Structure 1
């Protein structure tokens, strides 16, 4: 997962909203959104078929997690290091994030995780431990709108500013109209489809070549080698009914599949 925005407790109809894009090399084997049986229930998530784990998912009991990689060469680890995708499944299945000690075994990450029943959501990151850059290990997210990409939570990258502002605008539109769930969801998917690039003066510096930094500045990345593989929207209403929609894309950015799953969260 490379960019996400969330609205927590800010809308009377949808107390939880998540919009997210997963960017990855196109040759990395992946299974789309599906139901995974686990002890005591099930998980809704896509599957990384190369290293296991996932990037975004939730359980029938309301445990939720998403992960973004932190793009900083100082945080890279050898290929033999454990996959960060297992942190998502662990948080969903166990209801908690990693300890500080555990997190040092992984390359740089931001893990947004918590319970949708209580809307107790945390953002856990190991980059502060490794870089001493002031990023806290774990913070509780108060009601509000948040965005995260490959920096730290709320880092003002052009793509995160665009997605967060777009989500806020769509919430205002929803309040001022009779838009139904289907049309609201489609408007959020359109936000995730923005392919415009940032100006050079706006680009963050993360150590990758300029042409890559430019390409990666889009909300939706379209490139033959690496790009946005899927877009996802998760909506939970006041009755704890969650609708999870995922669209998958080919290297040309064309839609290749769409899956919508709906579940009732249990306590």
Structure 2
């Protein structure tokens, strides 16, 4: 996931909204959004190369986690999987279920939003490992270190902030912002580009609307999955 925005406890109908694009090589295999069949309670797409995920919801607990990589740092194949970090944090079990700042250097460069128990956190290991609580509001991440300005993230944050301010249905963002030819948000490359646009919207009563729109090379639509379920 390369650009993502989070609205945390500010929309009148949806206390949690998460929307973003996953940009990746088109040749990297991935499974569509689904309820995982391993009994974990995770609802997510799946990276079939490393086995983890970039964005997911843990239906029993309501935890939501999303990760982006950070450009400018060469990946080290000996590092632990960022997708596995997301899975452990979603399940609340495993070696990285509740990572400390000292654990974050074990992964290649990343930024991460984690929401659970009505609290939201930012985790990052660029420019240095840190874990910070997020106040209610609209926040955004992309592929830049968190101490650097990122016009792409700010564009999405501003758009989600407008949806929040209007009390509007967040699903419209998938049409008006995520599936456009604007390279600021949607990448139409033949080798590398936007693979999926995903919306997670959690209502005050615990109902969840989760939509994934998938794309192949050149930005051609490759299918949509829309799920509704409850947390807890």
Normalised by the size of structure 1, how large is the TM-score?
0.79
Gaps of 5+ in 1: 130-135, 176-180, 198-217
Larger radius of gyration: 1
| Corresponding residue for residue 8 of structure 2 | 8
8 Å CA contact 1:189–1:233 kept in 2: the answer is no
**Residues 207-232 of structure 1 deviation map (CA, whole Å, 9 limit, x = unaligned):** xxxxxxxxxxx211111110000000
> Given the superposition, is the C-alpha separation of residues 123 and 97 from structure 1 closer, same or farther in structure 2, using an over 3 Å criterion?
farther
User: What's 2:149 paired with?
Assistant: 156
Counterpart selection for 2:160 from 145, 162, 167: 167
Aligned to 2:195: 229
Aligned equivalents of 2:180, 2:161: Cα separation in 1? 16
1:125-164 deviation digits (Å, cap 9, x = unpaired): 11233xxxxxx60011110000000114485322112111
- Alignment: residue pair count: 228
| Deviation at residue 172 of structure 1 after TM alignment | 3.0
Contact 1:147 1:153 in 2 (8 A): no
Compared CA separation, residues 173 and 27, structure 1 to 2 (3 A):
same
Question: Unpaired runs of 5+ in structure 2?
Answer: none
* Residue 187, structure 1, aligned to residue 186, structure 2: no
Bigger mean CA offset, 146-155 vs 222-231 = 146-155
Q: How does 1:1-267 map to 2 (within 5 A)?
A: 1-39=1-39, 42-60=41-59, 61-73=61-73, 76-94=74-92, 96-115=97-116, 118-129=117-128, 137-153=130-146, 155-174=148-167, 181=169, 184-197=170-183, 218-266=184-232
Distance 1:189 1:91 in 2: 30
User: Which is richer in strand?
Assistant: 2
Moved more, 237-246 or 165-174: 165-174
Q: Larger deviation: 164-173 or 221-230?
A: 164-173
